Amino acid sequence: MTLHEFLRQKKSLSEARNDDKLYWKAKQHQWLSAVKDLYGDIQKWLQSSIKQGVVTVKTTPKIITEPYLGSYEVEKLEIQVGEETVSIDPQGVELANVLGEVMIYGQAGQAKLWLMPAHHTDENKNVWCLVSLFANVSDIMDSLANLRKGVKKTFPVLDRNSFAKILMSIMQPNIDES
Amino acid sequence: MKANFSPSGSQPHFESIWSCYGVSQNSLIAYRASILANFKAGKALPAHFTGMRERQFEEYFEQCRKELDYVTCLQLLSAIEAILRLDFLGRVNKLRPNSKIDQAFRDIFEVKTFKVNLEEDILDKWKEYKPACVNEIGTLKQILRFRNWLAHGRYWQPRFPKYAPLQVYTIGKNLLDCLQILNGT
């Protein structure tokens, strides 16, 4: 290898690394904006309960560390209902084939959401999809297991109804003790 | 009594298994590298990897490597068993004059027919008639516990060493060389 070839190879490797960095940065930006939109949707879906003082919501900062992006700050959304809290907890963007992940943790279960790219869905935009729902009491849904087994599956898109279903599955069941 | 037996020809070939192991190992390394490079560059990966993070790729490929090693060990050991058993049947049928081991094998076959035991009937007889190979035979007998563990689903905690494919290959080859049995290639 001549010096010129060596230097040229070094430059192209450096350009490739820069391209990779740009890719992750762009993906992070897209995901952070989608997380913000998700919080907006959730507050809209809970609007009447918030107005009536049944539910309060607040955001708290969280640091995420990922191999290519390093550490960065995001906000967790916490939904408070009496003594029970549900956390909408962003996990990051460095995942294969999806644009980012958010977990929803309740006291009786958890759900996983992925931001799916438009070409993976029937929508013409990126959408939040429910990938798995593990509740202690009833529902267990894992579309991911099917996907990895090679079963073609469209994940349910997150909307007002599916969000309601998630909350009712991952929160403690109401037991009337009176 | 002769052994009325026609070999299937489907038995695994000792040297081919070893050669395929090398190819499979290299393919796995190359596939892992291409998955990691494509992931880093933001390219789409096969559906199987959807939602995985970098450390999960590492875990996944490490699991694949371990399984490849186990499968290879099991295949090498089953190939050795087939070689020893086919050699046994060949000696029962050909019975070369002045071959004490051939005669000993035929005597065993008279009693046990096809229910001969690899360890007690074949390997122990070899030990008796080929004392120069005692160590090689002993080592193979030790490794057979590992073979049983692999073949029966590895569900119990082994109280014996686990072996890597290279160790199994070496032990098998040393034994076959010592006994001067062709290894089926």
Higher pLDDT among residues B97 and B134, named by residue: B134
Contact B47 A24 (CB under 8 A): no
Average pLDDT over residues B13-42: 95
Tell me what the mean pLDDT of segment B84-112 comes to: 90
Q: Which of A28-42, A59-73, A130-144, B157-171 has the lowest mean pLDDT?
A: A130-144
- For B116, other C-beta atoms within 10 Å of its C-beta total 19
For the cut 80, the answer to whether the pLDDT of residue B2 exceeds it is no
Task: For residue A117, give the chain B residue with the closest CA.
Answer: B44
Query: Among residues 55-84 of chain B, which lie with CB inside 8 Å of chain A?
Result: 57
Per-residue model confidence (pLDDT) at position B95 = 74
- DSSP assignment, residue A121? S
Q: Where are the beta strands (DSSP E) in A7-165?
A: 56-66, 70-81, 84-92, 101-105, 109-116, 127-135, 140-142
- B39, A134, A103, A38 alpha-carbon torsion, rounded to 10°: 110
Which of B99, B106, B76 lies closest to B176, judged by CA?
A: B76
Report the alpha-carbon distance of residue B119 to residue B106 in Å, rounded: 16
- Inspect the interface and report whether the beta carbons of A147 and B50 lie closer than 8 Å: yes
Chain B environment of A13 (Cβ under 8 Å): none
Q: B149: distance to nearest CA of chain A, Å?
A: 28
pLDDT over 70, % of chain A: 87
Confidence at residue B74, expressed as pLDDT on a 0 to 100 scale: 97
Give yes or no for a contact between B8 and B74, defined as CB atoms under 8 angstroms apart. no
Q: How far is CA A74 from CA A27, A28, A59, A99, A106, in A?
A: 14, 11, 10, 15, 20
Read off the pLDDT of residues B134-146 as tens digits, 9 standing for 90 and up: 999 999 999 999 9
Average pLDDT for A23-35: 94
B104 Cβ contact partners less than 8 Å away, ≥ 6 residues apart: B125, B128, B129
Q: In the structure encoding, which two tokens stand for residue B82, read together?
A: 């087939």
Residue B48 to chain A, least CA–CA distance (Å): 4
Nearest to B51 among A20, A68, A131 (CB): A131
pTM for this predicted structure: 0.80
CB contact under 8 A, B53 and A20: no
pLDDT for A137: 47
Query: B59 contacts in A (CB within 8 Å)?
Result: none
Q: In what order do the strands lie in the sheet with A140-142?
A: A56-66, A70-81, A84-92, A101-105, A109-116, A127-135, A140-142
Per-residue burial over B17-38, b if 16 or more Cβ lie within 10 Å, else e, is bbeebeeeeeeeeeebeebeee
CA separation for the pair A72, A64 (Å, rounded): 5
For residue A122, pLDDT beyond 80: no
| Residue with the two structure tokens 């294969």 | A96
| A175 vs A69 pLDDT, higher one | A69
More confident residue, A82 or B96: A82
In this prediction, residue A75 has a pLDDT band, given cuts at 50, 70 and 90, of very high
Tell which residue, B119, B90, B92, has the closest CA to residue B103.
Answer: B92
In chain B, whose CA is at the least distance from the CA of A151?
B47
**Sign for the pseudo-dihedral over CA of B130, B180, B163, B114:** negative
A20 and B54 within 8 Å at the Cβ level: the answer is: no
Q: What residues contact residue A110 under an 8 Å CB cut-off, 6+ apart?
A: A103, A104, A133, A134, A170
A16/B41 CB distance under 8 A: yes
Residue B5, both tokens: 């037996």
Encode pLDDT of A123-167 as tens digits: 778 999 998 887 654 455 566 666 666 555 568 899 999 999 999
DSSP A157: B
**pLDDT (tens digit per residue) in A76-113:** 999 999 999 999 999 999 999 999 999 999 999 999 99
Return the pLDDT at B185: 40
**Inter-chain residue contact B51 with A20, CB threshold 8 Å:** no
pLDDT tops 60 at residue B112: yes
Q: Please name the residues between 14 and 53 in chain B that touch chain A, using a CB distance below 8 Å.
A: 39-42, 44-45, 47-53
Contact: B45, A68; criterion CB under 8 Å? no
User: In chain B, what percentage of residues exceed pLDDT 70?
Assistant: 98
Average pLDDT for chain A: 87
CA distances from A103 to A58, A79, A87, A113, B52 (A): 16, 13, 8, 6, 15
